[in-house]
């Protein structure tokens, strides 16, 4: 039997139709008989009443079993209704006498219903039982025996019409199956081609980067190599969107259900687009319903992707005015919220004739080769698929010249705080001492992560480049390896590929990256590594990663001895009364606009030493200046891959020291399209200078504050010793 819908859904649809149409038809038949043909009915009033009650019970029972069916009763329900529907109708036709001639057509309605909803085989069974039932009515009902020609004509209809309809149904189903197969085949082909294109594309990018590295600046070959990498990265972005859409349509895209807070997701989105908002001098407002006060469980990455796409589009198509983002609880109870997410803008708007088509893949309002805004036309289609997976439907309202509003409602289960906290605590336990290779070409990131590992008692070997990491891996043994994905000489993916091919049992290896896109995660996991860690790296993240790699090696509390790193001197840090008196003032000078208010506090969680904080902030200031210089050169040369690479580095450093505005600029630089970077080089350069100057000034202010507080504390300590 060919079924184009799940059998359970078909049975439930039939049960609903029985209640909505079958029972009213029953009342109509009984009423018509009593009003117009009471003398010719076969049953007494009480017998008709019993038969009516039996039919009501049958309808209610089949509906109840269909609602509560988990799959075990599919065949039993199908067999019961295939026989029960025509037999119940036959009983009423016998009881109704002459008036029943008006309702013989319900046989065909029932038979064809099974054909269209379930399949040809079920229709054949229902047809056979209906013919047998009608023949029995014609044989034993005096009214029908007197109408032989009418009876014969109806039997002929019950034979011929379903036979003819079966051919039509079979053709329709074949066409549906062919269309479904072709759609799936197209999506699979798109996914396979997109995936396979990445292999040679990676080789092209690597070869071009090697040519750039080995050729003196300004050479003609160097310029051509940059052109190759620019176009290759642009093509990689287009392929990523094709692959994402294909996975969503095929149902192979995966997103974990995790606990999160709505305000945190929206804050991440705002951070990601802040640089673009600042560059266009727009107002961005956020409103979150105060009633959404507890964490929820759901697919946070999918929700974040939709919001980034909607907010990014709103900024893209708004040249002046504002963009508003809101989350409102339109329904709430003890177990869940239904939240309406809404993004509105005062941009160019969308013509009415395009509103129904903008969610179709590759559809763009702009046509021709002189398009102002660019893009592939896949963003809205991907958002629609994500929202559908989240359990909602995306809607749009727009007026040309006034702006657009996009919104969607999704259910979000409330998280059980106690159990979530316990699970997090369990996953963040400290494991026994491990030998760790840590590779990152950025001094700030390397120092922070190394310090966190050492604080948990692990032995850390630090590498400042991919080449140095390979050298250590070739000569030493490690329990676990942590590789920054983007390093200037050899990236983490290449290091892992060489390392894994040279060992029969390589150590568990994790990539560290600031790129949180699904495409990058899939690409890294497809290489065979153990997992991905996202910046900013935290104690909980490191402990969770190590616990996942070594679940049975939990360190007793007494054995968790902080291990000093080679580059971090051990300090006694005896706190005097003077130091204690000044401690509360240490956070007062943090520039909240460019540095998070708890930036220094977070550093002190890693190492309470003032020397560590000063050294790390000074390194971060130098790293930011160097990255900014290299990004400025890349922007001047139109070197898109280098801009993206430096954007990734800038985001990583900024996240680790708590600089959200600069991190948002780095996110914009690393994710902007080829056309956007080339078309907005001047704006990006100005924005870079502004964000770097503000962040560096905030860091210098914090360093001065530490010195101001430290000076009297040291003087007090000196007086105490003297």
Give the pLDDT of residue 424. Answer: 44
Give the pLDDT of residue 426. Answer: 42
Report, as an integer, the average pLDDT of 166-173. 79
Which of the residue ranges 16-20, 535-539, 633-637 has the most confident prediction, judged by mean pLDDT? 633-637
Q: Is pLDDT at 104 greater than 70 in this prediction?
A: yes
Report, as an integer, the average pLDDT of 172-183. 71
Q: Is 526 helix (H, G, I), strand (E, B) or coil?
A: coil
State how far the Cα of 607 lies from the Cα of 613, in Å rounded to an integer. 8
Q: Which residue has the higher pLDDT, 544 or 202?
A: 544
Question: How does residue 213 score in pLDDT terms, banded at 50, 70 and 90?
Answer: low
Report, as an integer, the average pLDDT of 615-628. 87
At 68-91, the pLDDT tens digits run: 766 667 778 888 888 888 888 888
Give the pLDDT of residue 235. Answer: 67
Mean pLDDT of the chain: 75
Give the pLDDT of residue 188. Answer: 60
Give the pLDDT of residue 523. Answer: 74
Give the pLDDT of residue 5. Answer: 45
- Does this model's pTM top 0.85? My answer is no
CATH 3.30.2130.10 is right for the domain spanning 258-364+371-420: no
Q: Which residue has the higher pLDDT, 404 or 600?
A: 404
Peptide bond before residue 611 is cis, with ω within 30 degrees of 0: no
Q: Which residue has the higher pLDDT, 708 or 189?
A: 708
Q: Is pLDDT at 409 greater than 70 in this prediction?
A: yes
DSSP state of 100: G
Give the pLDDT of residue 205. Answer: 66
Are the C-beta atoms of 683 and 663 separated by less than 8 Å?
no
Report, as an integer, the average pLDDT of 369-395. 71
Give the pLDDT of residue 369. Answer: 42
Q: Do domains 258-364+371-420 and 577-721 have the same CATH topology?
A: no
User: What percent of the chain stands above pLDDT 70?
Assistant: 71
Give the pLDDT of residue 174. Answer: 75
Q: Which residue has the higher pLDDT, 174 or 464?
A: 464
Tell me the β-bridge partners of 408.
341, 394
Report, as an integer, the average pLDDT of 260-283. 79
At 306-357, the pLDDT tens digits run: 888 888 888 888 888 999 999 999 888 888 889 999 999 998 888 887 777 7
Using CA atoms, how far residue 76 sits from 17, 71, 113, 272, 387, in Å, is: 19, 10, 18, 55, 36
State how far the Cα of 573 lies from the Cα of 611, in Å rounded to an integer. 10
Q: Is pLDDT at 230 greater than 60 in this prediction?
A: yes
Write out 536-553 in H/E/C secondary structure: CCCHHHHHHHHHHHCCCC
The lowest-confidence range among 76-80, 124-128, 224-228, 293-297 is 224-228
Give the pLDDT of residue 44. Answer: 61
Q: Is pLDDT at 711 greater than 70 in this prediction?
A: no
Give the pLDDT of residue 437. Answer: 93
At 110-153, the pLDDT tens digits run: 888 787 777 788 888 888 888 888 888 888 877 777 777 777 88
Q: Which residue has the higher pLDDT, 368 or 406?
A: 406
691: left (phi over 0), alpha (psi -120 to 50) or beta: alpha
Q: What is the full DSSP assignment across 175-221?
A: HHHHHHHHHHHHHHHHHHHHHHHHHHHHHHHHHHHHHHHHS-TT-HH
Consecutive H or E run containing 484 = strand 480-484
State how far the Cα of 707 lies from the Cα of 711, in Å rounded to an integer. 6
At 425-452, the pLDDT tens digits run: 444 578 888 999 999 888 888 888 888 8
State how far the Cα of 447 lies from the Cα of 566, in Å rounded to an integer. 11
Half-sphere exposure at residue 215, Cβ-oriented, CA atoms within 13 angstroms = 16
Give the pLDDT of residue 498. Answer: 82
Give the pLDDT of residue 566. Answer: 45
Domain extents in the chain:
7-146, 190-250, 258-364+371-420, 428-559, 577-721
Give the pLDDT of residue 212. Answer: 63
* CATH class belonging to 428-559: alpha beta
Assign a CATH topology to domain 577-721. 1.20.120
Report, as an integer, the average pLDDT of 272-299. 82
Residues with Cβ within 8 Å of residue 718, at least 6 apart in sequence: none
Report, as an integer, the average pLDDT of 185-209. 61
Give the pLDDT of residue 422. Answer: 42
Give the pLDDT of residue 317. Answer: 85
256: left (phi over 0), alpha (psi -120 to 50) or beta: beta
Give the pLDDT of residue 421. Answer: 42
Question: How does residue 405 score in pLDDT terms, banded at 50, 70 and 90?
Answer: very high
Give the pLDDT of residue 687. Answer: 85
Give the pLDDT of residue 570. Answer: 32
Give the pLDDT of residue 94. Answer: 77
Measured at the CA of 629, the angle between CA 651 and CA 215, to 5 degrees, comes to 105
State how far the Cα of 34 lies from the Cα of 347, in Å rounded to an integer. 67
State how far the Cα of 295 lies from the Cα of 293, in Å rounded to an integer. 7
Q: Is pLDDT at 641 greater than 90 in this prediction?
A: no
Question: How does residue 38 score in pLDDT terms, banded at 50, 70 and 90?
Answer: low
Q: Which residue has the higher pLDDT, 231 or 367?
A: 231
Give the pLDDT of residue 238. Answer: 61
Q: Which residue has the higher pLDDT, 130 or 710?
A: 130
């Amino acid at each position: 039997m060919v079924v184009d819908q799940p059998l359970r859904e078909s049975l439930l649809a039939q049960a609903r139709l029985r209640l909505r149409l079958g029972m009213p038809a029953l009342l109509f038949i009984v009423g018509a008989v009593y009003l117009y043909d009471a003398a010719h009915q076969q049953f007494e009033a009480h017998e008709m009443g019993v038969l009516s009650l039996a039919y009501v019970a049958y309808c209610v029972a089949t509906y109840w079993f269909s609602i509560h069916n988990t799959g075990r009763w599919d065949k039993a329900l199908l067999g019961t209704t295939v026989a029960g529907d025509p037999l119940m109708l036959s009983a009423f036709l016998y009881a109704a006498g002459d008036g029943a001639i008006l309702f013989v057509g319900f046989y065909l309605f029932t038979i064809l219903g099974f054909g269209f909803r379930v399949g040809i085989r079920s229709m054949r069974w229902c047809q056979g039982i209906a013919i047998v039932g009608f023949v029995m009515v014609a044989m034993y009902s005096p009214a029908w025996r007197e109408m032989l020609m009418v009876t014969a004509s109806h039997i002929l209809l019950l034979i011929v019409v379903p036979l003819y309809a079966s051919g039509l149904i079979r053709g329709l189903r074949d066409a549906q199956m062919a269309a479904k197969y072709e759609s799936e085949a197209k999506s699979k082909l798109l996914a396979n081609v997109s995936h396979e294109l990445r292999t040679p594309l990676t080789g092209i990018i690597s070869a071009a980067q090697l040519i750039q590295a080995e050729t003196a600046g300004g050479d003609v070959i160097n310029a051509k190599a940059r052109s190759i990498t620019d176009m290759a990265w642009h093509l990689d972005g287009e392929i990523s969107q094709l692959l994402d859409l294909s996975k969503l349509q095929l149902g192979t895209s995966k997103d974990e259900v995790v606990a999160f807070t709505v305000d945190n997701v929206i804050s991440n989105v705002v951070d990601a687009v802040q640089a673009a908002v600042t560059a266009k001098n727009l107002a961005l407002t956020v409103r979150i319903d105060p009633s959404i006060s507890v964490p929820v469980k759901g697919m946070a990455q999918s929700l974040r992707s939709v919001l980034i796409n909607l907010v990014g589009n709103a900024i893209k198509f708004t040249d002046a005015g504002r963009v508003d983002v809101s989350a409102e609880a339109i329904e709430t109870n003890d177990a869940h919220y239904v939240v309406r997410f809404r993004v509105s803008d005062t941009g160019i708007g969308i013509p009415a004739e395009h509103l129904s088509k903008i969610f179709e893949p590759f559809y763009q309002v702009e046509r021709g080769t002189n398009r102002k805004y660019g893009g592939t036309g896949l963003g809205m289609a991907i958002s629609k698929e994500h929202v559908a997976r989240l359990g909602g439907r995306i809607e749009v309202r727009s007026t040309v010249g006034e702006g657009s509003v996009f919104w969607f409602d999704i259910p979000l289960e409330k998280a059980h705080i106690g159990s979530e906290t316990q699970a997090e605590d369990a996953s963040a336990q400290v494991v026994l001492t491990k030998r760790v290779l840590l590779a990152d070409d950025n001094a700030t990131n390397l120092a922070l992560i190394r310090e966190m590992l050492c604080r948990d008692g692990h032995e850390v070997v630090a590498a400042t480049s991919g080449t140095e990491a390979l050298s250590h891996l070739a000569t030493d043994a490690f329990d676990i390896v942590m590789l920054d994905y983007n390093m200037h000489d050899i990236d983490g993916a290449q290091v892992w590929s060489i390392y894994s091919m040279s060992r029969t049992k390589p150590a568990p290896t994790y990539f560290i990256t600031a790129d949180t896109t699904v495409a990058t995660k899939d690409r890294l996991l497809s290489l065979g590594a153990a997992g991905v860690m996202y910046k900013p790296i935290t104690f909980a993240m490191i402990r969770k990663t190590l616990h996942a790699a070594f679940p049975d090696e939990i360190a007793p509390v007494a054995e968790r001895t902080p291990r000093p790193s080679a580059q971090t001197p051990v300090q006694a840090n005896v706190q005097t009364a003077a130091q204690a008196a000044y401690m509360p003032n240490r956070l007062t000078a943090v520039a909240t606009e460019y540095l998070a208010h708890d930036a220094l506090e977070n550093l002190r969680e890693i190492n309470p030493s003032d020397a560590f904080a000063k050294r790390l902030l000074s390194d971060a200031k130098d790293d930011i200046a160097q990255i900014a210089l290299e990004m400025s050169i890349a922007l001047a040369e139109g070197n898109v891959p280098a801009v993206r690479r430096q954007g990734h580095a800038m985001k990583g450093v900024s996240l680790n020291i708590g600089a959200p505005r600069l991190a948002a600029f780095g996110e914009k630089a690393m994710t902007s399209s080829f056309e956007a970077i080339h078309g907005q080089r001047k704006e990006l350069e100005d924005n870079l200078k502004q964000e770097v100057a503000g962040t560096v000034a905030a860091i210098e202010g914090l360093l001065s504050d530490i010195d101001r507080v430290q000076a009297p504390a040291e003087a007090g300590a000196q007086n105490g010793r003297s």
